[in-house]
Chain A
């Protein structure tokens, strides 16, 4: 499956789950900021990804949980070096460059982009092949 084909499937999922327009679902769009996803939408999107692509997604695999509540990972409104390492380790599908440049906690949600979803699905499909 090519990245364009993966994007087409993800676009259908996000249009259905988030009631957004086709043309809003571009690789650079952030799910929580640009596309208006709420936390509960992540569960809906997870179910739809499993259904469409045929793989299983464990809890916290798509987006690591509990980061902002953990003082080891967030201090004084910034993601700690340990937190950044954890995100890189548990989220190889994320582009961490912007967050590493400015580790403000409000920037964590910005790494959850459509591009990250494409990466995630591609990695899962390759692992299953």
Chain B
């Protein structure tokens, strides 16, 4: 089992850009605790920033992994920048756009933007209008088998698990891994 924090990849330009979406639902357990009601305050369900970062890491990670045919074990090494100007709430859709900035045999750096479709502000006559840019997340990924310490890891690519395969398949993206 693996937490997946994107629902679908809607665009993939190999070695360049990936766009994914995440629909935020009140059925997600964590929203009931983040933040739970207190005697002095009503419940305040907000998708945690850490999970927004994870959603971008999964989006950008697929993009970087795809570049090597998913042969490399792509792991998040560093969050170089993360800003979020608005809290994502249930009923909203997040759109992650990840672009590759640098890609080498050792890893990759990516830049990312986050757009929010809020039913209150981004839909007119049930059609989505322009989303609101609410954040930027830049990341560094390392290819695990090329770590500088020379540590050996299992041959199987445990990073890109069945959950990732499912996301790619249901998104209509061919993958042979």
Digit string of B134-177 for contact with A (CB within 8 Å is 1, else 0)? 00000010100010111000000000000000000000000000
A39 at interface by CB-CB < 8 Å: yes
Nearest A residue to B151 via CB reads A69
The reply to whether the CB of B67 lies closer than 8 angstroms to some CB of chain A is no
Within 8 A of B (CB), among A1-50: 16-17, 39-44, 46-47, 50
**A42 vs B142: C-alpha distance when bound (angstroms):** 11
Interface residues on B, range: 10 to 19
- Whether A44 lies near B148 (C-beta < 8 A) is no
**In the complex, which of the residues A43, A60, A65 contacts B107, with contact meaning CB atoms closer than 8 Å?**
A43
B150, A66: Cβ atoms closer than 8 Å: yes
Interface majority SS (helix, strand, loop, mixed), chain A: helix
Is the Cβ of B77 less than 8 Å from the Cβ of A40?
yes
Interface residues on A, range: 10 to 19
Chain B residues 88-140 with CB under 8 Å of chain A are 101-102, 104-107, 109, 140
| Any B CB within 8 A of the CB of A51 | yes
Chain B's nearest CB lies how many Å from the CB of A38?
9
Given the complex of chains A and B, what is the CA–CA distance between A43 and B107 in angstroms? 8
Do the beta carbons of A66 and B149 come within 8 Å of each other?
yes
Contact A69–B150 (Cβ < 8 Å): yes
Q: List 30 A-B contacts (CB under 8 A).
A: A17-B80, A39-B149, A40-B77, A40-B78, A40-B140, A40-B142, A41-B78, A42-B148, A43-B77, A43-B78, A43-B106, A43-B107, A43-B142, A44-B77, A44-B78, A44-B80, A44-B109, A46-B106, A47-B104, A51-B101, A51-B102, A59-B105, A59-B106, A59-B146, A63-B148, A65-B148, A65-B150, A66-B149, A66-B150, A69-B150
